[in-house]
Amino acid sequence: MSEQHNQHSLVHANIDADDIGHNTSNNPSFDQILAVRLSRRGLLKGGFSLMAASVLGAGLVACGDDDNSSNNNNNDNNNTNPTSLSFTPVAKSLADALVIPTGYTATVLYAVGDPLNNNIAAYKNDGTDTDFDYRAGDHHDGMYYFGLDTSTNKYAASNADAGLLCMNHENMTQIFLHTASEAATARTAAQVDKEIAVHGVSVVDIRKSGTTFQVNKASAFNRRITAATTVDMSGPAAGDDMLFTKYSPTGLQTRGTLNNCANGYTPWGTYLTCEENWAGYFKTNTASLADGKEKTSRNRYGVAATDGSYGWANAMPADDKCARWNITATGASAADDYRNAANTFGWVVEIDPFDATSMPKKRTALGRFAHEGCWPAKAVAGKPLVFYMGDDSRNEYIYKFVSDALWDAADVGKGVAAGDKYLNAGKLYVAKFNADGTGSWVQLTLSNTSIATYTTYTFADEADVLINARLAADAVGATKMDRPEWGAVNPVTGEIYMTLTNSVSSSSGRGVKTALDAANPRYYADTKGTATNKGNVNGHIIRWRETGDNHAATSFQWDVFLFGAQADADSNINLSGLTADNDFSSPDGLWFSQASQGLLWVQTDDGFYTDTTNCMMLAAIPGKVGDGGTKSVVNKAVPTNANADQTVTTYMGKTLATTQLARFLVGPSGCEITGIAETPDGKALFVNIQHPGEDTTSLTDPAAFQSHWPNGGTARPRSATVVITRNDGNKVAV
Ligand code: FEO
Ligand code: CA
Ligand code: CA
């Protein structure tokens, strides 16, 4: 979520947890670092809106004046890495349309409300629809394609014709889920039920149909997991008294998964969904709590919304479904109320898509924070499995989990039982980025004296360290980052990339309250209309290489792969030399193709360059850590430097040519582009268009909605998955 998410709610102002810094620790990272380092193309013209709005599947605009016959590295050999991009970049766009390159076709596969079986009526999209337990949820986000062997109904990683598409439904555009009269009043219990059900995850059986894909509505695999589904707690914190609730007095279960942002997958064929901005959904009395561990923990996690983002706890009748969102202590003990309910969110959740009856499991060994996603390093037989994770709030940290169990390919297909083996025991680390271009991983455990003797919060045991991982990371002086979003592991080099989307705040932003450092080196002013935003406005993408190319290593070398910027910005801002063909702001989604190894996709969730362009997706052929050398960044009038100029030395990748970094897609009005998957042959790309039209504030005049994508006319806009294929049938982008 980003700055754009401020207008979800008609009744209750949404708390944008991404946009609130809760890290008040005095981590020495920047002090140490600074002590050392102070020192259009006009292609989209007439008739565009007309093309942009007609029927489902319209609003898809191909542009570009070149054919793509110059493709020089397309092939079906997975062992050959592309060296350049083959498509013609698309221009920035403010149209209410999905813009893709010439020679490509996009079709809508799965939009909010689409039925998951043949018994559910078609989506009317007028606010009266119900049955979201059997329809696509809202705000499509992270997703993954699991190949399906249709004869055995088992995982078949290489099958490009049939698959189970697992996808997150992060949040909702509340206004479009209700009728005009409902939207104008407080939520009823029935409306809360609907809102709870549009959150969560879809498992969708999809089959190749001609050159694209269709949902197989007859499939028994189709499944919704919502914010009401029963989920097991597993790992070291399962059963901890801080997880006791009236629903599960032993702390072994909870209901639902919430604000499922990005994702991951396991080598044994299960899906990982990650709980990001769960903190704001709860009705709390945190401010009036007595000082103590509970208050310290809630403040550190931003659990502070008076009524909750959507007022769920206030709906009548106040039965358990609604009351469970109120975390005020009302009973005799934690087993009598929901004071601990928020502690059962903020986890990585494992789902077996191949068993529709299996219960999801929250994996507490991977720590509790605002999980963006959970990205696996390549599994190697006999080695631990490693997963990289980001905590997406301003000034939060980057983590990794290293399993105790060693990988055995015989576990493929064993579902959550394999998860019990690999994801319930291991080491959780947090990252420090040093000023000299090195970095280290610090294990979060009571064996670390800084954690054992931390005075801000006294950890009871290792479970407490996991439940309050942010506080443990504070204790060891982890490096505050500019909002870690998605990560991705380069299948060719093993290097890890992670987006740092931006950090802009007059109270806690980079350069304002949080000092600049080598890994987060920019503070500058950017104008948007009459507004001026200051900080790291456009974000960057950091990357690192583990020592010895060992993912379990405790040290690494890092640099910045790309700095976001508008192409016409000062050279101290546009450090990566971006051009009109590839300039971007606020990188968020990030993903390496497996079929075209070394091809990287970057998606944006932006609110700062949106006076010029809607959010977008770019393709890149990256180099490797250290290929660009050092860079001195001159920052003007930095508040944390007494409003003086400040030069920070950083490390960055080489400047990429347009053939190595190019804009592939621009979305419709008001959307973010987030979530990407491919068929294992690299010939079909699945991309999620999240919350088109989300800045719409009134249902009164449908013609005035911010977007009508994808249905066009005066339709309400819908989040949706699109399938993108190349008209010549070859691999996408290379
Ligand atoms: Fe849900 Fe950090 O994006
Ligand atoms: Ca600007
Ligand atoms: Ca995101």
Q: How far apart are CA 415 and CA 685, in angstroms?
A: 25
Question: Please, what is the end-to-end C-alpha distance for the chain in angstroms?
Answer: 30
Please tell me the number of the ligand nearest to residue 486's CA: 3
Q: Which residue has the tokens 């919704």?
A: 224
Per the CB < 8 A criterion, the answer to whether 253 and 232 are in contact is yes
- Tell whether the model's pLDDT for residue 12 goes beyond 60: no
Whole-number Å distance, alpha carbon 673 to ligand 1 midpoint, is 11
Instruction: Give me ligand 1 centre to Cα 370, in Å.
Output: 9
Atom number of ligand 1 nearest to Cα 261: 1
Report the pLDDT averaged over residues 91-111.
98
- Per-residue pLDDT at 34: 26
Degrees to nearest 5, angle at CA 693 with 688 and 698 = 150
**Side chain identity at 306, as an amino acid letter?**
T
Shortest-distance atom of ligand 1 to CA 171: 1
Q: Is the pLDDT of residue 317 over 80?
A: no
What mean pLDDT comes out for the span 289-318?
91
Q: Which ligand approaches the C-alpha of residue 18 most closely?
A: 1
> What 3-state DSSP class applies to 47?
coil
pLDDT at 72 over 70: no
Ligand nearest to the CA of 483: 1
What span, in angstroms and rounded, lies between the C-alpha atoms of 113 and 131? Answer: 9
Ligand 1 atom at minimum distance from 485 CA: 2
pLDDT band for 6, please (50, 70, 90 cuts): very low
pTM score, whole prediction: 0.92
pLDDT band at 19 (very low <50, low <70, confident <90, very high): low
Residue 3: what pLDDT?
37
- Cα–Cα dist 22/690, whole Å: 26
How confident is the model over 257-274, as a mean pLDDT? 98
Report every protein residue that has its C-beta within 5 angstroms of ion ligand 3: 485, 588
What ligand 1 atom has the least distance to the C-alpha of 277? 1
Q: Is the CB of 581 under 6 A from ligand 1?
A: no
Any ligand 1 atom below 6 A from CB of 275: no
- Say if residues 691 and 139 touch (Cβ distance below 8 Å): yes
- Name 535's bridge partners: 504, 524
Given the CA of residue 483, which atom of ligand 1 is nearest to it? 2
Would you call the peptide bond into 587 cis, given omega within 30 degrees of 0 as the criterion?
A: no
Q: Rounded mean pLDDT of 599-609?
A: 98
Between the CA of 106 and the centroid of ligand 2 the distance, in Å, is 30
d(CA 145, CA 143): 7
Q: What is the pLDDT of residue 319?
A: 74
Q: Answer whether residue 407 shows pLDDT above 50.
A: yes
Express each pLDDT in 458-489 by its tens digit.
Answer: 999 999 999 999 999 999 999 999 999 999 99
H or E element, residue 148: strand 140-149
More confident residue, 372 or 318: 372
Query: Backbone phi, then psi, for 278, in 5-degree steps?
Result: -75, -25
- Report the distance separating Cα 617 and Cα 606, nearest Å: 11
Q: What is the pLDDT of residue 156?
A: 97
| H-helix or E-strand spanning residue 497 | strand 496-500
Ligand 1 pocket member 396 (CB < 6 A): no
Percentage above 70 pLDDT, the chain: 90
Would the CB of 411 count as within 6 Å of ligand 1?
Answer: no
Mean pLDDT (whole number) for 299-320: 88
Cα(567) to ligand 2 centroid in Å equals 10
Give yes or no for residue 76 having a pLDDT over 50.
no
Tell whether the model's pLDDT for residue 167 goes beyond 80: yes
Q: Which atom of ligand 1 is nearest to the CA of 141?
A: 1
Q: What is the pLDDT of residue 536?
A: 98
Rounded to an integer, what distance in angstroms lies between the CA atom of residue 597 and that of residue 493? 10
Looking at residues 257-276, what average pLDDT do you find? 98
The first and second tokens of residue 319, run together, are 């039965």
Distance from the Cα of residue 227 to its chain's centroid: 18
Please state the rounded mean pLDDT for residues 111-120. Answer: 98
The amino acid at 317: P
pLDDT of residue 150: 97
Q: Report the atom number in ligand 1 closest to the C-alpha of 276.
A: 1
Q: Are strands 684-690 and 672-678 parallel, antiparallel or unpaired?
A: antiparallel
Say how far apart CA 316 and CA 210 lie, in whole Å. 49
Does 57 score more than 80 pLDDT? Answer: no
Looking at all shown ligands, the one closest to residue 2's CA atom is 1
Answer whether 392 contacts ligand 1 (Cβ < 6 A). yes
Fill in the DSSP letter of residue 291. S
- pLDDT of residue 306 exceeding 90, the answer is no
Our answer on whether the CB atom of 485 is closer than 6 Å to any ligand 1 atom is yes
Is any ligand 1 atom within 6 A of the Cβ of residue 170?
yes
For ligand 1, say whether the CB of 500 is within 6 Å of any of its atoms: no
Mean pLDDT value across the chain: 91
- What distance in angstroms lies between residue 712's CA and the mean position of ligand 1's atoms? 27
More reliable by pLDDT, 35 or 595: 595
Tokens (6 digits) for 652: 């960055």
Atom of ligand 1 nearest to the CA of 370: 2
State mean pLDDT over 359-381: 98
355: tokens are 């068993």
372 lines ligand 1 (CB under 6 A): yes
Q: How far is the CA of 372 from the centre of ligand 1 (A)?
A: 6
Residue 40 has pLDDT above 50, yes or no: no
Query: What is the dihedral sign for C-alpha 466, 470, 475, 480?
Result: positive
Which of the four pLDDT bands, split at 50, 70 and 90, describes residue 1? Answer: very low
Which ligand has the minimum distance to the alpha carbon of residue 585? 2
pLDDT computed for residue 81 by the predictor: 87
Region 356-376 average pLDDT = 98
Cis peptide before 710 (omega within 30 of 0): yes
**Which DSSP symbol is given to 552?**
T
**Angle at alpha carbon of residue 411, lines to 409 and 415, rounded to 5°:** 140
Burial of 321 (0-12, 13-18, 19+ CB in 10 A): middle
Sign of CA dihedral 703, 47, 672, 352: positive
Which residue's alpha carbon is nearest to atom 3 within ligand 1?
Answer: 1
pLDDT over threshold 50, residue 32:
no
Rounded CA separation 79/175 (Å): 48
Which atom of ligand 1 is closest in space to residue 372's alpha carbon? Answer: 2
* Across 605-616, average pLDDT: 98
> Taking Cα atoms as reference points, which of 238, 262, 106 lies closest to residue 170?
262
For residue 446, the model assigns a pLDDT of: 98
Q: Is 133 in the pocket of ligand 1 (CB under 6 A)?
A: no
Provide the pLDDT for residue 80. Answer: 66
What is the C-alpha separation between 510 and 116, in angstroms, rounded?
44
pLDDT tens per residue across span 498-524: 999 999 999 999 999 999 999 999 999
Nearest CA-CA partner of 385 in 550, 253, 242: 550
pLDDT digit string, tens, across residues 217-265: 999 999 999 999 999 999 999 999 999 999 999 999 999 999 999 999 9
What whole-number distance in Å separates Cα of residue 41 and Cα of residue 43?
A: 6
Residue 483 CA to ligand 3 center (angstroms) comes to 10
- How remote is the CA of residue 568 from the centroid of ligand 2, in Å? 9
Closest-CA residue to 198 (of 228, 230, 165, 232): 228
| 1 Cβ closer than 6 Å to some ligand 1 atom | yes
Whole-number Å distance, alpha carbon 589 to ligand 3 midpoint, is 6
| Burial category of 317 from C-beta neighbours within 10 Å (exposed 0-12, middle 13-18, buried 19 and up) | exposed
CB of residue 391 inside a 6 A radius of ligand 1: no
Calculate what percentage of the chain has a pLDDT beyond 90.
Answer: 86
- Say if ligand 1 is within 6 A of residue 294 CB: no
Report d(CA 613, CA 226) in Å as an integer.
33
Mean pLDDT of 578-606: 98
Which residues lie across from 590 on neighbouring strands? 602
pLDDT of residue 381: 98
Whether 276 lines ligand 1, by a CB cut-off of 6 Å, is yes
